[in-house]
Amino acid sequence: MTKARIAVLVSGGGTNLQALIDAQSSGIIHSGEITLVISNNAGAYALQRAEKAGIATEVVLKKELGSQAAFEERIKELLTVYQIDIIVLAGFMSILSETFTSCYPKRILNVHPSLIPSFCGEGFYGLRVHEAALNYGVKVTGATVHFVNEIPDGGEIILQKAVEIQPDDTPETLQKRVMEQAEWKILPAAVEQVCSML
């Protein structure tokens, strides 16, 4: 069986990337293989995680390329060179345009730290999502893995997992629990599900 070739796009620490690497090692992801990690931040710790796992890395910087179009074109070139089938956005802090996303229908996955359609869309990322959930007073939050289209957090939902909010939660404690209980479980599961259907 030929495995689907996966590229993971990262910007920071790479905790979700690590969850994917671990899931691949433990056999949760067996229909696909992470063959490339692309970062838009040369200093991202995620790159070290990838290198440690023996995965090829590439850095693509928008400021060097001069425009969003050139930035996306370079990413597309790399995806072609590495013959990538599936793209996973794991804390990738750059919104991709419709020009890019339309080239890969149902091939780009993203994990978002809330139960979409709550606390999602433009401007909702990182701790901001958890701050919004706590400010609103919801009792349950969670994470969502969805396909990526031209609307931020607007693509078809693949998997969701709920996480209860504790009375003494801060955005930081909530972020950690959502990662551990939801993101790191459903992201690998969703990646396997999509790879197995190719």
Is 112 one of the catalytic residues? yes
**Domain ranges within the chain, ordered by starting residue:** 4-196
* pTM for this predicted structure: 0.96
Alpha carbon distance 198, 177 (integer Å)? 32
Residue 1 is predicted with a pLDDT of 76
Q: What percent of the chain has pLDDT over 70?
A: 100
CB atoms within 10 A of CB 89: 21
Mean pLDDT of the chain: 97
Amino acid, single-letter form, for residue 13? G
For residue 193 the two structure tokens come to 């599900």
Q: Give the CATH number of domain 4-196.
A: 3.40.50.170
* Structure confidence by residue, pLDDT tens digits, 164-194: 999 999 999 999 999 999 999 999 999 999 9
- Between β-strands 32-39 and 140-147, what pairing exists: parallel, antiparallel or unpaired? unpaired
* Catalytic-role residue among 30, 112, 130, 146: 112
pLDDT tens, position by position, 13-57 = 999 999 999 999 999 999 999 999 999 999 999 999 999 999 999
- Of the candidates 31, 9, 22, 47, the one whose C-alpha atom is nearest the C-alpha of residue 190 is 31
The predicted pLDDT at position 83 comes to 98
pLDDT digits (tens, 9 = 90+) for 74-124: 999 999 999 999 999 999 999 999 999 999 999 999 999 999 999 999 999
